[in-house]
């Protein structure tokens, strides 16, 4: 008991001595509280390109803290959503959590928190735009891991709830569509219009990172209906699907073309998608006119990527 009292007193004295100094002050501006063990935070902002060798030849960077922070973040966001959507089903909760903890969302939050000013990384990396922009989102997860080790679960909850997602309208987030590929495949299954994705080009950017260009095709006619570029096959296919969905929603001439394809087809074609899906039981689905894709209330579940 006595040792615990002295430990708390020591922490207060050290805090009073250092709280006006860097990096204590910067961490306070980001999190809303001063750290007890500054080493956790210094490690959180150490990208692997600037790894530091310590005792016994071991190299340290923020990847272990990133792993820990990712798990803590997922649990806390799940708790927040469970309480907010008191009647929401598992699918709604899972999809909403996926949007909050997505790479795009984490990178954007990290930029808004100016984490790039704290991060140590190689000068060869461009972390604000392009392939390496995920470095910021990864650092944010590492920061959560550092807070967890230094302050515990309650402080992590406070940071995630009050700092990270305080400006997110969770009800509006439901309407945000992020999984265009799954949505396009769902439409193709409903209307028996075979869709496929192909990588049509891949190359290296100026930093030596792989770039992919993919296209979405109507398999019946080999007609290209969407093209996308990304730093992974998945990202490029998502962007190709997004372009295709916009075409389906807004291009009446194209939808007339789709109706003509269905009219000429005597029997539904058999086609393969990435994972087994439920086939419409009624033959009426083959004869009904295709409809413009409506705005989804939330993104459908992810489907395994085409190899």
C-alpha pair distances (Å), 102 with each of 67, 177, 181, 291? 15, 12, 16, 30
User: Could you give the residue ranges of the DSSP H alpha helices within the chain?
Assistant: 2-18, 24-31, 38-44, 63-84, 90-100, 103-112, 134-151, 153-159, 170-173, 180-191, 233-250, 252-264, 284-287
Catalytic residue among 63, 66, 90, 141: 141
Task: List the one residue out of 112, 270, 109 whose CA is nearest residue 194.
Answer: 270
| Phi and psi, residue 163, nearest 5° | -110, -50
**Is there a catalytic annotation at residue 269?**
no
**Is there a catalytic annotation at residue 141?**
yes
Return d(Cα 306, Cα 80) in angstroms, integer.
34
Long-range contacts of 130-136 (CB under 8 A, 24+ apart): 130/205, 130/207, 130/209, 130/231, 131/205, 131/207, 131/209, 131/211, 131/231, 132/207, 132/209, 133/107, 134/103, 134/107, 135/47, 136/106, 136/107, 136/110, 136/111
Token pair 């994705």 is at which residue? 197
Catalytic residue among 43, 66, 70, 235: 70
Residues annotated catalytic, as ranges = 70, 141
């Amino acid at each position: 008991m006595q040792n615990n009292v002295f430990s708390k007193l020591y922490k207060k004295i050290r805090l009073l001595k250092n709280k006006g100094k860097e990096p204590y002050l910067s961490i306070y501006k980001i999190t809303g509280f001063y750290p007890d063990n500054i080493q956790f935070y210094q490690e959180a902002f150490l990208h692997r390109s600037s790894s530091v060798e310590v005792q016994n030849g071991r190299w340290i960077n923020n990847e272990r803290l990133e792993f820990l922070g990712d798990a803590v973040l997922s649990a806390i966001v799940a708790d927040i959503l469970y309480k907010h959507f008191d009647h929401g089903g598992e699918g709604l909760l899972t999809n909403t959590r996926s949007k909050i903890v997505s790479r795009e969302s984490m990178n954007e939050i990290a930029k808004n928190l100016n984490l790039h000013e704290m991060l140590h990384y190689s000068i060869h990396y461009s972390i604000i735009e392009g392939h390496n922009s995920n470095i910021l989102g990864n650092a944010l997860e590492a920061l959560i891991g550092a807070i967890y080790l230094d302050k515990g679960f309650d402080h992590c909850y406070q940071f995630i709830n009050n700092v990270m997602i305080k400006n997110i309208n969770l009800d509006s987030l439901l309407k945000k569509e992020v999984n265009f590929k799954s949505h396009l495949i769902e439409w193709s299954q409903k209307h028996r219009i075979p869709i496929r994705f192909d990588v049509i080009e891949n190359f290296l950017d100026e930093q030596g990172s792989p770039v992919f260009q993919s296209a979405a095709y109507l398999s019946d006619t080999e007609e290209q209906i969407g093209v996308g570029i990304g730093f992974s096959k998945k990202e490029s296919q998502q962007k190709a699907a997004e372009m295709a969905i916009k075409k389906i929603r807004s291009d009446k001439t194209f939808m007339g073309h789709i109706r003509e394809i269905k009219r000429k087809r005597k029997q539904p074609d058999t086609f393969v998608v990435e994972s087994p899906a439920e086939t419409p039981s009624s033959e009426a689905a083959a004869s009904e006119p295709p409809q413009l894709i409506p705005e989804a209330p939330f993104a459908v579940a992810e489907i395994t990527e085409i190899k």
